[in-house]
Amino acid sequence: MSQNLVDLEKKAIEFRNSGHLEEAAELFLAIVKFQPDWEHGTGFYDLAGCYEDLGRLDLAEECYAAALRFQPANRDFLGGLASFFYLHGAPEKAFDSYLSLLGLDRMNGDEKSIELSTIALKVLGKRMGLSDAEVAEKITRVLR
């Protein structure tokens, strides 16, 4: 059955890449229904992206969270969720997600990603009405 799932995933990716999001979502959904831990959460992550592009934001958020349950320290999954919140008007959730991402960047010693996460946090902090000092303090706490 594993080969069938690989074939389904390939077809789903083809559909997504050619703009057939409904069809792609159906196939990714079939994969995660059959094997929820497919590729350590990647099935849910891909499904989340389809749902987001289709405007099914509640389902997208659920799928991003499901992917993270399999790999909580996956930078792509966490960044996808942070970006999702950022783009869809949930600045507090985005801020918290970017703080988590910043901690992961620190743990991995990824200076470029630390810089990018810090920029996102500063922008979100302004959007949330936080002072520069408040944002700096939260960033510093994570980078210690």
Tens of pLDDT, residue by residue over 31-42, are: 999 999 999 999
**For 89-110, what is the mean pLDDT?**
96
Consecutive H or E run containing 71: none
Q: Decide: pTM greater than 0.95.
A: no
- Residue 56 vs residues 25, 50, 123, 135: alpha-carbon distances, Å: 11, 9, 26, 31
Residue 140 tokens read as 């510093």
CB 34 within 8 A of CB 12: no
Residue 55 tokens read as 């405007």
Tens of pLDDT, residue by residue over 60-97, are: 999 999 999 999 999 999 999 999 999 998 999 999 99
